[in-house]
Amino acid sequence: MNVSDMGPGVRAGSGRVLYAGIDEAGYGPRLGPLCIGVCAFEAPEHLGTSSSLWTELAPVVGRSLADARAGCLAIADSKKLKRSNASGLGHAIAELERSVHAVLRMLHPEARLSDDTGVLGAIAGDLELPDWYRAEPIPCPAGTTEEHVSLGARRFQAACVRKGVAPRILSTVVVDETRFNSGVDAEGSKAAISMSVIAAMLPRLARMASADSGPAQTVKLVLDRQGGRTRYADEIRSRVPGSSVRVLEEAAERSMYRIDLPESVSPIELTVAVGADRSDFCVSLASMGAKLVRELLMERFNRHWHTRCAELKPTAGYGTDAGRWIREASDRFGRREITPLVRKA
């Protein structure tokens, strides 16, 4: 799946930066896709980091469910915004939908976002997925009302225009179970699969920053660190041929690099930081986009198997419940049919 670089943007020029973030959803489960999201906003250089977008766009955006209940669009780590289905506080994905739809409506004003097929197409492109993700479209937004989403989208667009801020991309790469398992066999780990997708995103971000007339922009890209790894330079060099990678810092809490790509005049300043999905605006939105895509696809997954066996209870694909689902589905359909659904790592 290619990462879309569509977006209205603002004319590039001195004093502007492309702030970007990458994060994933579905890194740990046994069932369902790995979804890797990317988000980028063009904004004034004086912001310093994309985290300042929370301040710039306040009070339209906030950082918590409490802010959402006060009328803000909540932009935060997706794990903090997806409610439990048993919480009694509203639909599980309502806040994901409100914020992600607000950005998608700026990026794709002509897109049809009234069902999950349209939403998935806008954020993940033309998906070629296994049969268990093919189902009749369901209306969207699924967790809130069209009026609620439209109001948030109009307020968000007005705030962006006032502050000279423009979304350039909100997209998700979907790695389904078949591709995931093939990747583990070829690469040796799921971390390597993520890095291969991230490496493919770097030239696209650099081209986006150089696309308009005027001086090239710097890309300030942030990734959330997975595990305790602190060194990334050699892997970037190996995965992006011709790249020049200079180490600026490699420490316990963050690693920083300057990346210059062949045939690009826009440098990438890369930061890999612990907790970036909570502290960086673009990383948070990338995680939300990826999470929404995974939630919509898992809904399709569960509907597919429910139509074949109404007694088979749905699953989110994680932990002991994934094990329960695999056992019950294997008993009903046979291990040969279910084994390709189970991720290897």
Domain containing 269: what range? 16-341
Question: How many independent structural domains does the chain possess?
Answer: 1
Residue 6 resides in a domain: no
Res. 3: pLDDT tops 90: no
- Specify burial of residue 145 (Cβ count, 10 A radius: 0-12, 13-18, 19+): exposed
Res. 11: pLDDT tops 60: no
Residue 55 resides in a domain: yes
CATH number at residue 276: 3.30.420.10
Give the model confidence (pLDDT) of 273-313 as tens digits: 999 999 999 999 999 999 999 999 999 999 999 999 999 99
Whether 87 contacts 60, CB under 8 Å = no
Residue 155 resides in a domain: yes
pLDDT value at position 15?
86
Q: What is the CA radius of gyration of the chain?
A: 20
Kindly state the DSSP code that residue 3 receives in the 8-state scheme.
P
Whether 134 contacts 304, CB under 8 Å = yes
Q: Binning pLDDT at 50, 70 and 90, where does residue 12 land?
A: very low
Residue 190 resides in a domain: yes
Residue 9 resides in a domain: no
23 vs 54: CA distance, rounded Å:
18
Greater model confidence, 80 or 326:
326
pLDDT value at position 185?
96
Tell me which of 157-166, 208-217, 284-293 is least confident: 208-217
Residue 1 resides in a domain: no
Q: Binning pLDDT at 50, 70 and 90, where does residue 13 land?
A: very low
